[in-house]
Structure 1
Amino acid sequence: MGLDISWLGVLLAALATFVVGGLWYSVLFAKVWQREAGVTDEQLKRGTVRVFVGSFLLGLVMAVVLAAFIGDGGAGFGALAGLAAGAAWVAAALGINYLFERRSLTLFAINASYNVVAFTAMGAIIGALQ
């Protein structure tokens, strides 16, 4: 069985996590997320390169695995697969961690919904380009 992966799709999907994240954690939910996560303005100024490089590399890993899962299913299947992965795997796993860590429902909602939207976008992009 051979895997035909669109590396352009993978790259664009990884970049999409930055677009969604930029909107999510700055425009839409910045102050609420910061308060709920206990992150100060000073903390956000340190380690920025490590955070962005690491996030992009992890985005690539997510996109490659999602691409292998989607195959040649098309944009519709890709979006549905991304939605399922974001909601049923990532958000559910975060929910388990957040329950044991006694983290707030608000923080869970912000972080989990980011992953649902990001994975859905990644899946649609990958599906359209494979």
Structure 2
Amino acid sequence: MEHAFADINFAAVFVAAFSAFIVGGIWYGPLFSKPWMAETGMTEEKARQGHPAITFGLSFILMLIAATALAMILGKKSIVAGIIHGILLAVAFVATTMGVNDLFERRSFKLWSINAGYNLVAFTLMGAILGAWH
């Protein structure tokens, strides 16, 4: 495990995580905020509750963990390999496990599509960044 961390470019991990964070802002903002809110029962009032610093801070930490794991899996491969790995992880692990949860929670296919689509774009971009900048 020690060697896996030694080979990681943590600047690239930070940028990859930040890119997923930005994609999330666009995805759940101007692109899909209305259908996402409708599918989850979220309201503007409910969205303003809580502590945004905690929500956004913890979300960024989670994306740092995901980007670090992707960097460990990817190693020093190319941008194309990064894109392929990002797509594979998003489809084979993230989207499928989210799908299982959504099935048991009786959530809609539309919500799954919005959330899985975000992860597909985010992981693909993170993989591209990590593959290009290792």
Provide the rounded CA distance (Å) in 2 between the counterparts of 1:97 and 1:22.
Answer: 23
Match for residue 33 of structure 1 among 11, 31, 36: 36
**Matching residue of 2:91:** 87
1:121 CA displacement = 0.4
| Residue 120, structure 1, aligned to residue 124, structure 2 | yes
Identity percentage over the alignment?
45
| Residue 16, structure 1, aligned to residue 1, structure 2 | no
SS in 2 for 1:103: coil
SS in 1 for 2:107: coil
Equivalent pairs counted in the alignment come to 130
Letter in 2 for 1:18: F
Provide the rounded CA distance (Å) in 2 between the counterparts of 1:54 and 1:44.
Answer: 16
Provide the rounded CA distance (Å) in 2 between the counterparts of 1:74 and 1:51.
Answer: 33
When normalised by structure 2's length, the TM-score is 0.94
Moved over 3 A (4+): none
Provide the rounded CA distance (Å) in 2 between the counterparts of 1:8 and 1:111.
Answer: 27
When normalised by structure 1's length, the TM-score is 0.97
| Residue 108, structure 1, aligned to residue 108, structure 2 | no
Name structure 1 gaps, 5 residues minimum. Answer: none
Mapping for residues 35-74 of structure 1, pairs under 5 Å = 35-46=38-49, 47-74=51-78
Provide the rounded CA distance (Å) in 1 between the counterparts of 2:21 and 2:45.
Answer: 21
1:50 CA displacement = 1.2
**Matching residue of 1:99:** 103
| Per-residue CA distance 1:53-84 (angstroms, 9 max, x = gap) | 00000010001010000001111101110010
**Matching residue of 1:5:** 8
| Residue 75, structure 1, aligned to residue 82, structure 2 | no
Provide the rounded CA distance (Å) in 2 between the counterparts of 1:75 and 1:109.
Answer: 26
Provide the rounded CA distance (Å) in 1 between the counterparts of 2:72 and 2:105.
Answer: 32
Name structure 2 gaps, 5 residues minimum. Answer: none
